[in-house]
Structure 1
Amino acid sequence: MSLNVAVQMDPMETLNIAGDSTFALMLSAQSRGHRLWHYDASDLSYSAGKVWARAHPVTVQRVAGDHFAFGAAENIDLGEQMDVVLMRQDPPFDLGYITATHLLERISDRTLIVNDPASVRNAPEKVFVLDYAQFMPPTLVTRSLDEARAFLAEHGEIVVKPLHGNGGKAIFKVGSDGANLASLIEVFNTAYREPHMIQAFIPAVSQGDKRIVLVDGEVAGAVNRIPGEGEIRSNLAVGGSAAKTELTAREAEICAVLGPELKRRGLLFVGIDVIGGEWLTEINVTSPTGIVAIDRFNGTDTGAMIWDAIERKVAAKR
């Protein structure tokens, strides 16, 4: 089965091909004979029921600095000419991102969108996870300094982070003395209109923050991300290092509970984050990462698993 695949993503020249999950997916697709197009979300247009993008046919190779080649740009009808659209641009989860999900939703009866655009829109990472509060560390969502102070008094040490942040950016630990908490909430309230996420600090984060990838509701693998020296953030994008790992019984339980709902929502490629083998902190659905490190440690081929699932779903649509 040869598919036409449009990839909505960031500029190709910005990719770190050594660890980029989207690039790995593109290589895997190309190896199967699928044809690829690249476009940015800002290139989407709509009229009279049609959604199209100004896109480049693209080929990829694992050669740093020469990892892609574009053909001439053309308008592609995403609802008629494409079998699959991969939504893979990085957040921020802003109005531009949300608008792209609204446009792509209009063709989802004809073209497989991965992940499902309506479900992505309704499941931002740090909000969707609230449905599974039984697995989370103590959590507060607020803009109120008084509420933050009360939460700190209850839990001793806390972490404050943007509700729609990504990649480990703007995450702050506040100690029991509460120094700078007022200033931090003031800065957050100025920078963001939405509430912020405040959680009890989990000391076990020093041993790693596990990224577990689920494909169509099934566990594909996991990697442990260990914070760098002097850091509480373990994201690979901010200096964390990757290590081989296995699932704990608690993590397997979390995946068993989440899996069927992810599958039902059309969230085919999902990465969840778990601290200390038991505390669920995020459900990443917008542009999950981690498959390159997982495959390197485990000898697996997560890209192939994802394309197997995509091909099954495309066949079911035909």
Structure 2
Amino acid sequence: MHKKISLKIGIVMDPILSINIKKDSSFAILLEAQNRGHIIYYMELNDLYLNNGKSYAIMRLIKIKKNKNKWFEFINEQDIPLNTLDAILMRKDPPFNTEFIYSTYILENAEKNGVLVLNKPQSLRNYNEKIFISDFPRFTPDTLVTRNIIKIKNFWKKHRDIILKPLHSMGGNNIFRITENDTNFSVIAENMTHCEKKFCMVQKYLKDIKYGDKRILIVNGNPIPWCLNRIPKSGETRANLAVGGIPKIQKLNETDFKIANFLSPILKKNGLIFVGLDIIGSKLTEINITSPTGICEIESEQNISITGMLIDYIEKNLRKKYYDSIRI
């Protein structure tokens, strides 16, 4: 039997004061780690810095508990080199902007100095959550990425019903549907491209959205057999829970598994250990790698520990590193 090791696990996330612990995946992961005796260090993006080629952060030792009135307590605050941690969870929500990219360079510095960083900083930079699907056209709806309004117009004329969305956002923010005779085409296209100064994604509208937008979670190359299906409320194009989508837990179907099993080894190879696929009908629409959600909803209805699988991966990875080091 392996000796139990208490790990130092850091997390970079949005302000913990603003989360809803009932459905926040980051909180669920931290609770599992704490319940196993690991020490948790909390950071926000503003806390990260490089000094003379070495990565640091202003860290708070944090204790959490499942209490909706007071769910966390900071024990102390200090500047600590990132390489004193065993693992860091990068769970900062989009926008995916230059500040996010800069933070991945700092985390990559820590990774080069022996820290396990999830997901891999280089891959967070390389694989935009929207554009990443273009690597798998066999599974996706007709998709265009451009800032050219004429290209968007031609795509609209071809499909007659389209979706426009920004490349850097989340939660259904700034997603527009343009139907066949929509008189608002020009103003929407101008707004989404900032008058042809910013790229956006254009996709053929999928009528299957009425049956939901499935969030399929993958941990270390293993698809979770249950997904969070988000059903749009009446009169709404978007299914995101943040804009009123109705959650429903359901089993993955044959097509879901086909897509998930095809992508899983590619994701794992690139250090994308915790990923959320978005599938509408039989079409892959996004690959969420920055801060996938859906853990709490699935775990609350099914006898499965997604957080346990993730912490198992971290423990196994670092246990191997620990025993390899003492054999040298």
2:150 corresponds to 1:146? yes
Question: SS at 1:245's partner residue?
Answer: strand
Give 1:192 deviation, angstroms.
Answer: 8.3
Give 1:247 deviation, angstroms.
Answer: 1.3
Give 1:76 deviation, angstroms.
Answer: 1.6
TM-score by length of 2: 0.94
Contact 1:163 1:194 in 2 (8 A): no
Question: SS at 2:110's partner residue?
Answer: coil
Select between 81-90 and 48-57 the one with higher mean Cα deviation: 48-57
Q: Distance in 1 between matches of 2:171 and 2:320?
A: 35
Select between 130-139 and 140-149 the one with higher mean Cα deviation: 140-149
2:199 corresponds to 1:195? yes
* TM alignment of 1:94-133, pairs within 5 A: 94-109=97-112, 110-133=114-137
Give 1:193 deviation, angstroms.
Answer: 4.2
Q: Distance in 1 between matches of 2:146 and 2:246?
A: 31
Select between 302-311 and 178-187 the one with higher mean Cα deviation: 178-187
TM-score by length of 1: 0.96
Q: Which of 228, 248, 251 does residue 246 from structure 1 map onto?
A: 251
Aligned amino acid, residue 303 of structure 2 = G
2:237 corresponds to 1:232? yes
Q: Distance in 2 between matches of 1:217 and 1:6?
A: 23
Q: Distance in 2 between matches of 1:92 and 1:124?
A: 11
Aligned amino acid, residue 272 of structure 2 = L
Contact 1:142 1:195 in 2 (8 A): yes
Distance 1:121 1:246, change over 3 A: same
2:18 corresponds to 1:14? yes
Give 1:194 deviation, angstroms.
Answer: 3.0
Contact 2:21 2:27 in 1 (8 A): yes
Distance 1:187 1:120, change over 3 A: same
Select between 222-231 and 14-23 the one with higher mean Cα deviation: 222-231
| Aligned CA-pair RMSD | 1.3
Q: Distance in 1 between matches of 2:195 and 2:299?
A: 38
Any unmatched runs of 5+ in structure 1? none
Kindly provide the CA deviation profile for residues 241-272 of structure 1, in whole angstroms up to 9, marking residues without a partner as x.
11121112111111111000111011110000
2:282 corresponds to 1:292? no
Residue of structure 2 equivalent to 1:274:
279
Contact 1:124 1:286 in 2 (8 A): no
Kindly provide the CA deviation profile for residues 140-161 of structure 1, in whole angstroms up to 9, marking residues without a partner as x.
1111221111111111200111
Contact 2:131 2:167 in 1 (8 A): yes
Q: Distance in 1 between matches of 2:271 and 2:319?
A: 15
Q: Distance in 1 between matches of 2:316 and 2:93?
A: 26
Q: Distance in 2 between matches of 1:132 and 1:314?
A: 32
Aligned amino acid, residue 288 of structure 2 = N
Contact 1:58 1:70 in 2 (8 A): yes
Q: Distance in 1 between matches of 2:320 and 2:53?
A: 23
Give 1:45 deviation, angstroms.
Answer: 1.4
Identity %: 38
Question: SS at 1:150's partner residue?
Answer: helix
Any unmatched runs of 5+ in structure 2? 323-328
Q: Distance in 1 between matches of 2:132 and 2:191?
A: 25
